[in-house]
Amino acid sequence: MKILVQKFGGTSVANLECMKKVREKVLAGLARGNKMVVVLSARSGETNRLLALADEWSNTPDKAECDVLVSTGEQVSIALFTMLLKDAGVRARSLLGWQIPMTTDDDYGRARITDIDSAKLRAALEEYDVLVVAGFQGCTEDGRITTLGRGGSDTSAVALAAALGSVECEIYTDVDGVYTTDPNICSTARKMDRVAYEEMLEMASMGAKVLHIRSVEFAKKYKVPVRVRSTFTDDPGTLVTQEDSSMEALLVSGIAYDKDQARVTLHEVPDVPGIAAAVFGPLSEKGVLVDMIVQNTSLDGHTDITFTVSRKDLNQTLAIMDEVARKIGASEVVHDVNVAKVSAIGVGMRNHSGVAARAFAALTQEGINILMISTSEIKITILIQEKYVELAVRILHDTFGLDWDIN
Ligand code: ASP
Ligand code: MG
């Protein structure tokens, strides 16, 4: 049995007209001889509307009940879409998470998939040609409804593709693929034909919001090729797949940026063992994610520690740091919210040196001051003043020749 998994996001199922476009894609998949599993999101705006309702009803909405509430968005989509398929004479039925079942842990609001009953799905595919599955939701072992976190329908789709051995998982959205950078700020941004899982992970975590990050982790782990493409065109989109030598030939594949950064510095921290733990322990206890970290070399037994957090976590971070600073004897805590980070990403960096130097030289030429730097095997990240982000993205995009069509 040849099975194809297709997933359609909120803008693709927003109204009847869009859903008819979706039906065309599904019919085309059937015509190619596939049995189909179609995963749908809630119609655009619906999940936000439901979450706002929860906040209106309760100051501290119960997490488990929130999942019962927000999962209804997808239920509406799959029922309506299955009606459309049946009107076209297709043997189809809808399936909610608990009907599969798509089993998860009980971390409501961001549950993880632990098991999918693929035998049951295969049996259903003997009887039906299309199974229309509610994305974003699952259920615990004792039958309570869960959701997988915002954007989680991508993960539902990739998990189903892995469980069913789908040749490819097609993720349909309102853009025609993954771009070398944000086309809204760089007019020469180019759609990529292929991108490696690891590059995509870095891009997603930098806020290239095309795919749910967990779906990419899943795809990488189970080697599911994922094709990001548009519901509204016939473009083949971008294939997210395993790295190969043609990808390595490129130094840099994409430039990502993130304006959701705030910088915090503790001055004159005693340079003794246990200080970093004293600073970052209390932050992680409160669930604050720390991004970049830099510690200077010590002068007179003292050093500075600088790190960045998401802007929404800044106030909480500063409150925690005031206490930490007093405890460890730091002289002061300063912060800056007008910062942003820009990253150059590419698996090709593994085998080439000098990429960082080229990036720094290009930025220097434009007079952009670099506040912090961090590097990994396939990524160089710099923190700069927010007002230079667009310029920095364009410079790096140009420096690494991303606007040339090398294919
Ligand atoms: N409807 C959910 C959300 O808006 C899940 C998804 O669309 O992927 O986050
Ligand atoms: Mg999405």
The pLDDT tens digits of the residues spanning 300-309 come to 899 999 999 9
Q: Find the helix packing angle between 314-328 and 275-285, rounded to 10°.
A: 150
Task: Tell me what pLDDT residue 297 has.
Answer: 85
Average pLDDT over residues 24-44: 97
Atom number of ligand 1 nearest to Cα 150: 9
Task: Tell me what pLDDT residue 94 has.
Answer: 98
pLDDT above 80: residue 206: no
Q: Which run of H or E residues covers position 3? A: strand 3-8
CA of 161 to the centre of ligand 1 (A): 18
Residue 346: CB within 6 Å of ligand 1? no
Q: Which run of H or E residues covers position 297? A: none
Task: Tell me what pLDDT residue 351 has.
Answer: 83
CA of 272 to the centre of ligand 2 (A): 45
Q: What single DSSP character describes residue 296?
A: P
11 closest CA partner among 176, 194, 164? 176
Q: Could you say which ligand is closest to the alpha carbon of residue 42?
A: 1
CATH topology of domain 255-399: VC0802-like (3.30.2130)
pLDDT above 80: residue 84: yes
Q: Could you say which ligand is closest to the alpha carbon of residue 174?
A: 2
Task: Tell me what pLDDT residue 33 has.
Answer: 96
Residue 135: CB within 6 Å of ligand 1? yes
Percent of the chain with pLDDT over 90: 89
Residue 73: CB within 6 Å of ligand 1? yes
Task: Tell me what pLDDT residue 386 has.
Answer: 97
Q: Name the average pLDDT for the chain.
A: 94
Task: Tell me what pLDDT residue 121 has.
Answer: 97
Task: Tell me what pLDDT residue 267 has.
Answer: 95
* Residue 175 and residue 230 in contact, taking contact as beta carbons nearer than 8 Å: yes
CA of 216 to the centre of ligand 1 (A): 16
Q: Could you say which ligand is closest to the alpha carbon of residue 77?
A: 1
pLDDT above 50: residue 407: no
pLDDT above 70: residue 231: yes
Beta-carbon contacts of residue 40 (< 8 Å; ≥ 6 apart): 7, 8, 13, 74, 77, 78, 81, 132, 133, 134, 135, 153
Q: CATH 3.30.2130.10 spans which residues of the chain?
A: 255-399
Ligand 1 pocket test, pick from 150, 174, 212, 231 with the greatest ligand atom count within 8 Å of Cβ, gives: 150
pLDDT above 80: residue 221: yes
* Residue 290 and residue 339 in contact, taking contact as beta carbons nearer than 8 Å: no
329 closest CA partner among 287, 267, 383? 267
Q: Could you say which ligand is closest to the alpha carbon of residue 73?
A: 1
CATH topology of domain 3-242: Carbamate kinase (3.40.1160)
CA of 115 to the centre of ligand 1 (A): 20
Burial 139-159 (b: 16+ CB within 10 A, else e): bbeeebbbbbeebbbbbbbbb
pLDDT above 90: residue 250: no
* Residue 132 and residue 81 in contact, taking contact as beta carbons nearer than 8 Å: yes
Residue 108: CB within 6 Å of ligand 1? no
Distance CA 261, CA 258 (A): 7
Q: CATH 3.40.1160.10 spans which residues of the chain?
A: 3-242
pLDDT above 80: residue 90: yes
Query: pLDDT of 95-134, one tens digit each?
Result: 999 999 999 999 999 999 999 999 999 999 999 999 999 9
CA of 383 to the centre of ligand 1 (A): 30
Query: pLDDT of 132-164, one tens digit each?
Result: 999 999 999 999 999 999 999 999 999 999 999
Burial of 320 (0-12, 13-18, 19+ CB in 10 A): buried
Pairing of strands 290-295, 302-309: antiparallel
Task: Tell me what pLDDT residue 405 has.
Answer: 58
Task: Tell me what pLDDT residue 69 has.
Answer: 98
Average pLDDT over residues 254-259: 94
How far is CA 337 from each of CA 198, 238, 260, 302, 386, rounded to the nearest angstrom? 29, 34, 9, 25, 9
